[in-house]
């Protein structure tokens, strides 16, 4: 589905005319997205600035990540920040250059990474201002800001305040840079999880995270995981189940999982035999026709996955809306939405965990920002999607010992059949409500699924990641 404003915005004559007329029409930057499968050096020749507050503790992990991913690092500050780059810089032929604080950048930076992990007082937060005030205007279009922090729990009140202040900073700068298609995230690294930072940093510095912004993301060492992380074809040899795979987000997710090496079991309703089988053929996967709302579906799914020798990745994507205000909603609408979007997810997960789920598996559920913020006419839908968040938060600690992670993705406005059904005026407003001034594409959610399914995402569990372009609501 086309977004007319973005189409117009790509035309320089139209842009000029609208400017001359003084019209306040938003002209969002079309987001830059990945077009090829995962690669060894996703940041090849990207200019990435590293800066830090006092006593940073994560610069070694950043230096290793940037050098191995092919970036050209530029360090702002004193020589102590250059030191961690020496060995990885030599190993990968990516030496870091230095930019004294306050000096002008001679070109645009593709990303700015700020290590705020050592900031323990309000006074030391000033380093954020000192670095971003001169540099933020030098951020390239569709650039990336990533701030690194530590969990605030268990710290002294002033230290905890300083660390949680980072969330407000990131959410706000994400709104300020969003109009040029740029994003900002806070990666909050638990002590002991430092070696899990590189995989997460790679993803959030890459174009694969184009529609994720203003997010605090927790990285933990709770779930045991692999020592070495494959950067290319990370899902080779994995079996994945995607429900609701016939169209929209499910179809794109299945394609992206297959492109990274997974065999995908594409599940959809028996009425969708045509598109489901066609997709399975296209990606070398297999179709599975079942209505997840039926009580017998879980057994059929377990049968199929057991025949394949087990399952590593489960994506609960099938979902429906039946919108009406509560006063006008039929009991049938309530039951149907709660059954398909929530009860079926719990039934299927229970059956899969008791049978074919393999050690080190990944469970990824589709929630929605409606489940975080609520929405008029969606009491049933929002209840089901908020229930998903309760489900993943309760399940995640229970399966830690099996090396399984459980997460939810909360999409905002994504261009699919589901949102095409929204009245035109509301649709137009919903698109512009994100920091990046446009709706997301199914592949934006698919990229988030692939990342959470990958071995490198083992540090993320029990989390809800909004893929909403930093929508103004539900933050
Ligand atoms: P979609 O285009 O409507 O696709 C959903 C797919 O799920 C369809 O193929 C549908 O089959 C299938 N499905 C529905 N009920 C099923 C059942 N009982 N058993 C098996 N398959 C079933 O939806 P989408 O926009 O891609 O959304 C995918 C997920 O993301 C949903 O969980 C949705 O709530 C969530 N989400 C979407 C957005 C958005 O902006 N699009 C925002 C937030 C959250 P039929 O066509 O036969 O019904």
Name the maximum alpha-carbon separation found in the chain: 67
C-alpha–C-alpha distance, residues 207 and 140, integer Å: 13
- Residue ending a domain, choose from 219, 249, 269: 219
pLDDT of 444 reads 98
- DSSP lists the bridge partners of residue 407 as 364
Whether residue 381 sits in one domain with residue 449: yes
- pLDDT digits over 66-87, tens only? 999 999 999 998 888 999 999 9
The structural domain count of the chain equals 3
Query: Looking at the structure, do residues 9 and 97 belong to the same domain, yes or no?
Result: no
Query: Measured from the CA of 247, which atom of ligand 1 is nearest?
Result: 9
User: Are 84 and 17 in the same domain?
Assistant: no
User: Among the atoms of ligand 1, which is closest to the Cα of residue 250?
Assistant: 26
Helices (H) and strands (E) counted in the chain, each on its own, are 17, 14
Q: Which ligand 1 atom lies nearest to the CA of residue 271?
A: 47
Average pLDDT for residues 281-305, to the nearest whole number? 98
Give me the chain's average pLDDT, please.
Answer: 94
Tens of pLDDT, residue by residue over 412-461, are 999 998 888 888 888 888 888 899 999 999 999 999 999 999 999 999 99
pLDDT above 60: residue 475: no
Going edge to edge, which strands form the sheet with 464-467? 286-289, 263-268, 239-243, 311-316, 357-366, 405-411, 464-467
- Quick: pLDDT tens for 390-410: 999 999 999 999 999 999 999
- DSSP letter (8 states) at residue 440: B
In a domain, 472, yes or no: no
Strand order of the β-sheet with 47-52 is 97-99, 72-76, 47-52, 109-115, 139-149, 183-189, 215-219
**So what's the pLDDT on residue 22?**
63
- List pLDDT tens digits, range 313-342: 999 999 999 999 999 999 999 999 999 999
Q: Which helix (H) or strand (E) element contains residue 315?
A: strand 311-316
Q: Is residue 35 part of a domain?
A: no
User: Does residue 65 share a domain with residue 209?
Assistant: yes
- In this prediction, residues 19-44 reach a mean pLDDT of 82
Q: Of 186, 219, 252, which one is at a domain's C-terminal end?
A: 219
Confidence of residue 25 (pLDDT cuts 50, 70, 90): low
CA of 254 to the centre of ligand 1 (A): 13
State the closest ligand 1 atom to the C-alpha of 275, by its place in the atom list counted from 1: 9
- Contact partners, residue 456, CB within 8 Å, separation at least 6: 196, 198, 199, 200, 202, 203, 229, 231, 234
Same domain, 370 and 305: yes
Report residue 24's pLDDT band, with 50, 70 and 90 as the boundaries: low
Question: What's the average model confidence in pLDDT over 111-127?
Answer: 98
- Cβ density class 255-290: b for 16+ within 10 Å, e for less: bbbbbbbbbbbbbbbeebeebbbebbeebebbbbbb
Do 213 and 349 share a domain, yes or no? no
The model's pLDDT over 339-388, given as tens digits with 9 standing for 90+, comes to 999 999 999 999 999 999 999 999 999 999 999 999 999 999 999 999 99
pLDDT (tens digit per residue) in 298-313: 999 999 999 999 999 9
Q: Whose Cα sits closest to atom 3 in ligand 1?
A: 418
pLDDT at residue 5 is higher than 80: no
Domain co-membership, 321 together with 423: yes
Task: Please tell me which residue, 430 or 292, carries the higher pLDDT value.
Answer: 292
CATH for 457: 3.40.50.720
Confidence of residue 99 (pLDDT cuts 50, 70, 90): confident
Residue 474's pLDDT is 46
Lowest mean pLDDT among 99-113, 165-179, 279-293, 352-366: 99-113
- In this structure, which residue's CA is closest to atom 7 in ligand 1? 244
The confidence band for 12, taking pLDDT boundaries of 50, 70 and 90, is: confident
Phi, psi of 442 (to 5 degrees): -50, -35
pLDDT digits (tens, 9 = 90+) for 146-168: 999 999 999 999 999 999 999 99
Judge whether 227 lies within some domain: no
Say whether both 15 and 102 belong to one domain: no
Identify whether residues 19 and 56 lie together within a single domain.
no
Among 219, 254, 286, identify where a domain stops: 219
State which of 242, 244, 392, 464 you would mutate to test the pocket of ligand 1, scoring each by most atoms of that ligand within 8 A of its C-beta.
244
For 193-221, write each residue's pLDDT tens digit. Answer: 999 999 999 999 999 999 999 999 999 99
**What is the full DSSP assignment across 388-425?**
HHHHHHHHHHHTGGGT-EEEEEEE-SB-SHHHHTS-HH
pTM (whole model) above 0.85: yes
Whether residue 135 lies inside any domain: the answer is yes
Residues near ligand 1 with C-beta < 6 Å? 243-244, 246-250, 268-269, 271-272, 291-293, 317-320, 340, 366, 368, 411, 413-414, 416-419
Which residue, by CA, sits nearest to atom 37 of ligand 1?
A: 411
Which entry of 85, 169, 231, 381 is annotated as an active-site residue?
381
pLDDT score, position 211? 97
Same domain, 190 and 284: no
Cα Rg of the chain, angstroms = 22
Dist CA 146 CA 217 (whole Å) = 11
- pLDDT in the model for residue 18: 65
Domain hosting 118: range is 45-219
The answer to whether residues 146 and 184 touch, using CB atoms and an 8 Å cutoff, is yes
Q: 209: number of CA atoms within 13 Å, CB side?
A: 28
Distance CA 58, CA 159 (A): 17
pLDDT of the residue at 420: 87
Are residues 318 and 214 part of one domain?
Answer: no
Residue 285 lies in a domain: yes
Do 296 and 422 lie in a common domain? yes
Q: Is 129 a catalytic residue?
A: no
- Tally of CB atoms within 10 A around 137: 10
Measured distance between the N- and C-terminal CA atoms of the chain, rounded to whole angstroms: 26
Residues 6+ apart with CB under 8 A from 265: 239, 240, 241, 242, 285, 286, 287, 288, 304, 305, 308, 311
Q: How far is CA 216 from the centre of its chain?
A: 11
Phi, psi for 87 (deg, rounded to 5): -65, -55
**Which two structure tokens, joined as six digits, stand for 458?**
């083992």
DSSP string computed for 81-149: GTGGGHHHHHHHT-PPEEE-TTPPPSS-EEEEEEE-TT--STGGGHHHHHHHHHHGGGEEEEEEEEEEE
| Residues in contact with 332: Cβ distance below 8 Å, sequence separation at least 6, in sequence order | none
């Amino acid at each position: 589905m086309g977004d007319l404003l973005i189409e117009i915005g790509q035309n320089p004559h139209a842009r000029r005319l609208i400017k001359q007329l003084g019209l306040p029409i938003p002209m969002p930057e079309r987001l830059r997205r990945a077009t090829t499968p995962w690669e060894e050096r996703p940041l090849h020749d990207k200019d990435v600035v590293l800066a830090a507050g006092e006593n940073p503790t994560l610069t070694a992990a950043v230096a290793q990540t940037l050098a191995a991913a092919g970036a050209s690092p530029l360090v702002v500050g004193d020589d102590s920040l250059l030191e961690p780059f020496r060995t990885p810089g030599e190993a990968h032929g990516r030496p870091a250059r230095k930019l004294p604080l306050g000096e002008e950048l001679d070109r645009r930076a593709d990303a700015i990474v700020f290590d705020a992990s050592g900031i323990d007082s309000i006074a030391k937060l000033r380093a954020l201002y000192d670095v971003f005030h001169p540099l933020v205007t030098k951020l390239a279009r569709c650039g990336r800001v990533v701030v690194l922090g530590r969990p605030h729990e268990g710290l002294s009140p002033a230290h905890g305040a300083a660390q949680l202040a980072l969330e407000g900073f990131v959410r706000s700068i994400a709104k300020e840079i969003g109009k040029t298609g740029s994003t900002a995230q806070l990666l909050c690294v638990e002590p002991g999880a430092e070696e899990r930072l590189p995989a997460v940093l790679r993803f959030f510095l890459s174009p694969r995270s184009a529609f994720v912004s203003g997010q605090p993301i927790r990285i933990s060492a709770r779930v045991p995981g692999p020592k070495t992380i494959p950067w290319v074809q990370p899902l080779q040899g994995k079996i994945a189940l995607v429900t609701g795979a016939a169209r929209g987000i499910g179809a794109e997710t299945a394609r992206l999982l297959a492109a990274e090496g997974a065999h995908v079991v594409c599940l959809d309703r028996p009425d969708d035999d045509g598109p489901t089988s066609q997709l399975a053929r296209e990606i070398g996967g297999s179709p599975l026709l079942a209505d997840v709302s039926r009580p017998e579906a879980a057994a059929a799914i377990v049968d199929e996955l057991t025949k394949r020798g087990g399952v590593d990745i489960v994506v609960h994507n099938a979902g429906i809306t039946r919108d009406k205000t509560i006063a006008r909603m039929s009991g049938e609408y309530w039951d149907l939405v709660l059954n398909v979007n929530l009860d079926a997810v719990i039934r299927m997960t229970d059956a899969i965990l008791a049978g074919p789920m393999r050690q080190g598996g990944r469970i990824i559920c589709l929630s929605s920002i409606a489940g975080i913020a609520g929405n008029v006419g969606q009491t049933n839908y929002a209840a089901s999607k908020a229930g998903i968040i309760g489900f993943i938060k309760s399940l995640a600690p229970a399966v830690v010992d099996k090396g399984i992670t459980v997460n939810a993705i909360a999409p905002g406005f994504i261009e699919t059949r589901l949102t095409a059904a929204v009245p035109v005026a509301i649709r137009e407003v919903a698109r512009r409500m994100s920091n990046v001034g446009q709706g997301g594409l199914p592949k934006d959610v698919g990229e988030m699924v692939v990342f959470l399914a990958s071995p490198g995402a083992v540090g993320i569990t029990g989390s809800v990641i909004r893929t909403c372009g930093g929508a103004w609501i539900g933050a």
